[in-house]
């Protein structure tokens, strides 16, 4: 997770966003094979894809703060459909320049797949990394219910997904920034907790790669991957060794290779 309000080195902010109020950044290369549009997960932001963008000279990269988060915090509502519409608006801009790849991390993968279903021609490839699909295979949660305290839920989520020590190392300003992202996070988590399908996987007509690491819940992702392949033959599954949930930060070289190989296999 990135902690700055401005795009980190390697990503340059757009002065004119395809969606007014949406903070979008990009990295352009010569003779790009395609543009990778990165969609972040809960309590993250577009800047966290900077390491991944810098690892590739084959693709343009576009990343953005989803509505409700960081530079796009003022935007609402925070529904899955609104997130999908934002992604499609960015893709509409990018497809005038060449092919498009959706790369969605965690909850961002739901948005990427949902956008591909809503507009099959908007992307030529979808890659989802450890995206939760509870209606396909539920995963037990240590917390049965969510509170209505969004700031509290943001802190709890950060401590659980990163670590207690990482939270304590954040400055008071950085901690408060995470708490201010709480309403958007709570919306994401609430949508997942409904258990209702976000979409029908059979409606996905775009080649899709579901990627996961080999961490402590790798067995869950392996079973989920098997179910995804049964649900739709266009979905392939790949496991990355020595990778955790935050692979776009910890394993950017491996992910860069995965994206390139997936594109070349089309």
- Tokens 């496991």 sit on residue: 239
pTM: 0.95
Q: Is the Cβ–Cβ distance between 23 and 13 less than 8 Å?
A: yes
Give me the count of residues in the chain.
266
Nearest to 54 by CA among 29, 24, 90, 17: 29
Compute the distance between CA of residue 139 and CA of residue 5 in angstroms, rounded to an integer.
Answer: 33
Pick the more confident residue, 2 or 101. Answer: 101
Helix (H, G, I), strand (E, B) or coil at 258: helix
Return the half-sphere exposure (C-beta side, CA atoms, 13 A cut-off) of residue 233.
Answer: 0
Distance CA 113, CA 116 (A): 5
What's the pLDDT score for residue 7?
56
Q: What's the mean pLDDT in 190-217?
A: 95
pLDDT in tens, 212-222: 999 999 999 99
Residue 32's pLDDT is 97
Maximum separation of any 2 CA atoms in the chain, in Å: 50
The C-alpha atoms of residue 154 and residue 9 are separated, in whole angstroms, by 26
Residue 144 confidence (pLDDT): 66
pLDDT of residue 1: 39
**Whether residue 8 has pLDDT greater than 70:** no
Query: What is the per-residue burial (b if ≥16 Cβ within 10 Å, else e) of 174-194?
Result: ebebbbbbbbbbbbbbebbee
Phi, psi values for residue 25, rounded to 5°: -135, 160
Q: Is the CATH code 3.50.50.60 the one for domain 12-138+198-264?
A: no
What's the token pair of residue 176? 């408060």
The residue whose two tokens read 């700031």 is 151
Would you say 221 and 194 are in contact if contact means Cβ atoms under 8 Å apart?
A: no
pLDDT (average), residues 14-41: 97
CA distance 62 to 87: 11
């Amino acid at each position: 997770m990135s902690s700055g309000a401005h795009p980190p080195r390697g990503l340059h902010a757009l002065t004119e966003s395809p969606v007014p109020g949406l903070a979008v950044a990009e990295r352009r290369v010569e003779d790009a094979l395609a543009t990778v549009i990165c969609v972040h997960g809960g309590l993250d932001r577009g800047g966290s894809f900077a390491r991944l963008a810098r690892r590739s000279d084959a693709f343009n990269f576009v990343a953005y703060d989803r509505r409700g988060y960081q530079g796009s915090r003022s935007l609402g509502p925070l529904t899955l459909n609104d997130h999908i519409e934002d992604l499609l608006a960015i893709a509409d801009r990018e497809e005038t320049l060449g092919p498009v790849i959706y790369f969605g991390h965690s909850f961002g993968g739901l948005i990427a797949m949902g956008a591909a279903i809503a507009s099959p021609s908007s992307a030529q490839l979808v890659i989802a990394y450890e995206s939760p699909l509870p209606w396909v295979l539920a995963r037990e949660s240590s917390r049965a219910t969510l509170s209505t305290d969004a700031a509290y839920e943001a802190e709890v989520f950060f401590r659980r997904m990163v670590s207690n020590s990482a939270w304590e190392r954040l400055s008071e300003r950085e901690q408060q920034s995470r708490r201010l992202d709480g309403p958007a996070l709570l919306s994401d988590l609430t949508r997942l907790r409904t258990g209702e399908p976000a979409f029908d996987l059979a409606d996905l007509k775009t080649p899709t790669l579901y990627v996961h690491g080999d961490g402590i819940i790798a067995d869950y992702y392996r079973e989920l991957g098997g179910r995804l392949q049964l649900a739709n033959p266009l979905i392939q599954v790949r496991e990355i060794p020595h990778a955790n949930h935050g692979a776009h930060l910890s394993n950017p070289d491996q992910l860069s290779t995965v994206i390139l190989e997936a594109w070349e296999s089309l």
